[in-house]
Amino acid sequence: MRILFTAILLMALSLSARENPFFPSTGEADIPFTTNEKEELLPLKRAALSFPSTARTIESITVKYKNLDGSIEEKTENLGNSVDWHLPLFISQNIADSTENKKIKEKEKFKKVAGLKFITLYESKKRFKFVTKDKMIRNFLLTKPHRIVCDFKRDIDLRSYEKHIKSSGKITNLRVGNHKGYYRIVIELDGSYRYKLRAIDNGYIFSLR
């Protein structure tokens, strides 16, 4: 009985020492791990900072922020300006309220970026969309640089295609390649983003955040 108990204990210890089976042991080093937990925060509108009566100059401003991967960093901007302590210091971003934001989205204009006979890409400031009847079979995000990969189902003999995008949107480069049973479109972005995908009547729309 004692030998049986010892054997079971050793087996339990060996199992607990294994690597977590829900994480890949090798490969995919280009994709940062992110949690599935969604944290919806209100957008920054305006924050105010009051000075004590002894303040006469503002030397610098330091902002602590959280990155996409959850790491915390700080950024300091050196100023060296005089201040009136009677007046508050405001930190703001020019974001309209929810009602105005909805109106802006309704009036949002998409500009054509590139197109083939069976699919067309349009973009606005922080969104882009594919107009197509082809079914999207997968999409995923890669980094260095940040890019969104989309695979569409279609049997076609397509020559590889690449285009550098010069616009006010977030897309910087576009690549199209042919594979067996599908074609792949790679959207390179100007920075680090997450995205939400939504199917629409005539294709798919991506919202960057």
Write the secondary structure of 31-87 as one string of H (helix), E (strand) and C (coil). Answer: CCCCCCCCCCCCCCCEEEECCCCCCCEEEEEEEEEECCCCCEEEEEEEEEEECCCCC
What value does the mean pLDDT of the chain take?
78
Average pLDDT over residues 94-120: 71
pLDDT digits (tens, 9 = 90+) for 14-43: 444 433 333 333 333 343 434 344 556 777
Query: What is the C-alpha radius of gyration for the chain, rounded to an integer number of angstroms?
Result: 25
Q: How far apart are CA 112 and CA 105, in angstroms?
A: 17
Mean pLDDT of the region 67-79: 87
Per residue in 1-21, pLDDT (tens digit) is 555 445 544 454 444 443 333
- CA dist 139 and 29 (Å) reads 18
Q: What percent of the chain has pLDDT over 90?
A: 34
Cα dihedral 102, 108, 114, 119 in deg (nearest 10): 50
In this prediction, residue 140 carries a pLDDT of: 95
Query: Beta-carbon neighbour count of residue 92 at 10 Å?
Result: 10
Measured CA to CA, the distance from residue 15 to residue 43 in angstroms comes to 45
Write down the pLDDT at residue 157.
87
- Per-residue confidence (pLDDT) for residue 131, from 0 to 100: 96
pTM of model > 0.75: no
Could you tell me the residue ranges of all domains in the chain? 46-92, 102-208
In the predicted model, what is the mean pLDDT of residues 138-167?
Answer: 90
pLDDT band for 99, please (50, 70, 90 cuts): low
CA distance linking residue 91 with residue 169, whole number of Å:
25
Architecture of domain 102-208: Sandwich (2.60)
Specify the pLDDT at position 42. Answer: 74
Q: Quick check: 208 and 170 in contact, CB under 8 A?
A: yes
Q: How far apart are CA 61 and CA 83, in angstroms?
A: 13
Q: Tell me if 17 sits within 8 A of 128, measured CB to CB.
A: no
Instruction: Look at residue 78 and tell me whether its pLDDT is greater than 80.
Output: yes
Give the pLDDT band of residue 101 (cuts 50, 70, 90).
low
Please tell me which residue, 90 or 29, carries the higher pLDDT value.
90
Instruction: Give the count of beta carbons closer than 10 Å to the beta carbon of residue 74.
Output: 8
pLDDT tens-digit map of 189-198:
998 888 999 9
CB-based contact 55:34 (threshold 8 Å)? no
